[in-house]
Structure 1
Amino acid sequence: MRKIGFIDYYLDEWHAEKYPEWIDTASGGNMKVTSAYGMIDSPNGRNNAQWCKDKGIELRSTIEEVIQESDYLIVLSPDNPEFHKELSQLPLRSGKPTYIDKTFAPDRETATQLFELAREYGTPLYSSSALRFASEYIEIERSGIETICSVGSGSFNNYSIHQIEPIVSLMGTEATRVMYIGTKLSPALLIEFSNGRQATINHFGPECPFTLTLNYESGQAKIVKPESNFFGSFIDRMIQFFESGEPVVDPAETIAIITIIEYGLKAAQTPHQWIELPS
C-alpha cells in the first residue's frame, strides 16, 4: 500500500473530507491517506485532532513528519491559495509526487515560483480544477473554436477557476487581455485570446449549473453541460499521476489560468476597460 500525506491550512474542509474515501476506492485500496498536517484548526468546524480521529488518519505536528511518512503528497487549502507557497516549500523539495489543490496560486508570480522550485528539486507537480476532466469537456472538438460563453455558480475568487480551466484547456494558453463586464451580484469576465478569439465567464447563483456554449468558425454552435462524474475522473488522474510521476496538466496552462484569475481581479477595479496580460 502506498501512503499519501495531507498538508492543509486546516483539515475540516470539503476536499479533505472527500478525497481519502475517493482515493481508497479508486485505487482498490492500494493508496490511502495515512497522515495529515493542519497549520491551524478550522475556525468553524472540528479541530485537526478531532478531524483526524474521525477519519482514522494520523495527525502530525510538522510538515516534515508527513513528508517522511508518505509516498505521495497533497497540499490542500483549496479556499486559501495564499498559503500554498508556504505549505508547499518542503513538499516541493522532497522529490515526491505532489498535487496542489485548486486554486493553485494567488498570482502568476507565485505560480511560476512553485513550478521552478519543483523543477529545481525534481519533484513531480501538478494542479487542476476537477471540471477539466468532465468527459463532456474532454470530448469537445477543439479545432476551430471561435467563442465560448461559460456560466456557473460561486464567487469569482474561489470558483472562477472551474470556468477558466476548461476554457484554457480548449482554447490554449495565448490569452492576451481581459475586461471585467459583470456586476457586484453577477461577476463576469471577457477574455480575449490570440487571433481575436474570445471567451466569457459568468457567475450566477448556487442553482446555476456549470455550462459551456461554444461557437465555431464554421458557424456551428453547441451547448455542453458536464453531468458525468468529473470528480471520479479527477481522482483517477491523480492516482495515475502518483503512479507515473508524469504531470497531467501542462504547467504553461496552469500559469495561464492563474494569470487570468489574477488580472481578472484587477480588471474588476476598472470595469469595461481592457487589461493587458503578461506574455
Structure 2
Amino acid sequence: MKKIGFIDYYLDEWHANQYPGWIREASGGTMEVAFAHAIKDKEHGLTNREWCVNHGVAWCDTIEEVIAQSDYLIVLSPDNPEQHEALAELPLASGKPTYMDKTFAPDRAAALRLFERAAKHQTALYSSSALRYAAEYAEVERAGIRVISSLGPGAFENYSIHQIEPVVALMGTDAKRVMFVGTETAPTLLIEFGGGRQATIQQPGAGCPFMMAVNYDSGACRVLQPASDYFQSFIRDLVTFFETGQSTVQPDETIAIMTIIEYGLIAAKQPYQWMELPEDR
C-alpha cells in the first residue's frame, strides 16, 4: 500500500474531504491518504486533528514528518495559492512525486520558482484544474480552432482557472495579450493567442454552468457543456502520475495559465486596454 501525505493550509476543506475516498477507489486500494499536516485550523470548522480522526489519517506535527513517511505528496490549499510556495518548499526538495492543487500559484513569478525548485531536486511536480479532464473537452478537435467562448460560475480570482485551463489545453501556450471587457458582477477576459486566435472567459454569475463554444477556421462551431465526471477522470490521472512520475500537463502550460490569471487581474483594473504578456515563458 502506497502512502500519500496531505500538506494543507487547513484540512477542513472540500478537496481534502473528497480526495481520500476518490484516490482509494481509483487506485483499486493500492494507495491511501495516510498522513497530514496543516498550518492552522479552519475558522468555524473542524480542527486539523478532528479532521484526521474523521478520515482515519495520522496527524503529523511537521511537514518533515509527512514527507518522511509518505511515498507521494499532495499540497492542497486550493483557495489560498499564496500559501503554496511556503507549503511546497520541503516537498519540492524531497524527490517524491508531488501534486499541487489549483490554483497553482498566485502569479507567474511564483510558478516559475516552484518549477525551478522541483527541477533542481528532481521532484516530479504536477497541477491542474479537474475541468481539463472533462470527456467533452478531450474529444474536441484542436486543429483549426479560431475562437473559444467560455462561460462558467464563480469569482475570477479563484474560479477562472477552471475555464482558462481547458482553453490553454485546446489552444496552446502562445497567449500574447489580455483585455478585461466585463463588469464587476460579470467578469470577462479577452485573450489573444498567436495568429490572431482569441478566447473569451466570462463569469455571468453563480448559476452559470461551465460551457464553451468552439469556432474553427472552416466556420464550423461546436458547443460543449461538460456532463461527464471530470473529477473522477482527474483522480485517475493523478493516480497514474504517482505511479509513473510523469505528468500529462507540461510546466509551460501551467505557467501560461498562471500568467493569464495574473495579468487578467491587472487588466481588470484597467478595462478595455490590452495588457501584453511576458514572452519568456
- Give the TM-score category using the shorter length: over 0.9
Q: What is the CA distance between 1:247 and its match in structure 2? A: 1.4
Q: What is the CA distance between 1:206 and its match in structure 2? A: 2.0
Unmatched segments (≥5 aa) in structure 2: none
Q: Report the secondary structure of 1:32's partner residue.
A: strand
Number of equivalences: 279
Give a deviation string over 1:163-210, Cα, whole Å, max 9, x none.
000000000000000000110111110000000000000012222110
Q: What is the CA distance between 1:28 and its match in structure 2? A: 1.0
Identify the residue that residue 277 of structure 1 maps to in structure 2. Answer: 277
Give a deviation string over 1:61-106, Cα, whole Å, max 9, x none.
1000000010000000000000000000000000000000000000
**Where do 1:142-221 residues align within 5 Å?**
142-221=142-221
Q: Report the secondary structure of 1:6's partner residue.
A: strand
Q: Report the secondary structure of 2:249's partner residue.
A: coil
- 1:166 partner amino acid: P
Q: What is the CA distance between 1:44 and its match in structure 2? A: 2.8
- 1:191 partner amino acid: I
Q: Report the secondary structure of 1:164's partner residue.
A: helix
Identify the residue that residue 51 of structure 1 maps to in structure 2. Answer: 51
For residues 195 and 27 of structure 1, the distance between their equivalents in structure 2, rounded to whole angstroms, comes to 42
Unmatched segments (≥5 aa) in structure 1: none
Pair 1:11-2:11 in alignment: yes
Q: Normalization by structure 2: what TM-score?
A: 0.99
Pair 1:125-2:122 in alignment: no
For residues 269 and 21 of structure 2, the distance between their equivalents in structure 1, rounded to whole angstroms, comes to 41
Identity, % of aligned pairs?
A: 61
Q: Report the secondary structure of 2:50's partner residue.
A: helix
Q: Report the secondary structure of 1:223's partner residue.
A: strand
- 2:254 partner amino acid: T
For residues 170 and 8 of structure 2, the distance between their equivalents in structure 1, rounded to whole angstroms, comes to 31
For residues 213 and 191 of structure 2, the distance between their equivalents in structure 1, rounded to whole angstroms, comes to 15
For residues 43 and 151 of structure 2, the distance between their equivalents in structure 1, rounded to whole angstroms, comes to 31
- 1:239 partner amino acid: V
Q: What is the CA distance between 1:107 and its match in structure 2? A: 0.4
Give a deviation string over 1:126-179, Cα, whole Å, max 9, x none.
100000001110110000000000000000001000000000000000000000
Q: Report the secondary structure of 1:222's partner residue.
A: strand
Identify the residue that residue 241 of structure 1 maps to in structure 2. Answer: 241
Pair 1:21-2:25 in alignment: no
For residues 59 and 208 of structure 1, the distance between their equivalents in structure 2, rounded to whole angstroms, comes to 38
Q: Report the secondary structure of 1:82's partner residue.
A: helix
For residues 202 and 122 of structure 1, the distance between their equivalents in structure 2, rounded to whole angstroms, comes to 38
For residues 76 and 248 of structure 1, the distance between their equivalents in structure 2, rounded to whole angstroms, comes to 19
**Where do 1:256-267 residues align within 5 Å?**
256-267=256-267
For residues 87 and 248 of structure 1, the distance between their equivalents in structure 2, rounded to whole angstroms, comes to 23
Identify the residue that residue 109 of structure 2 maps to in structure 1. Answer: 109
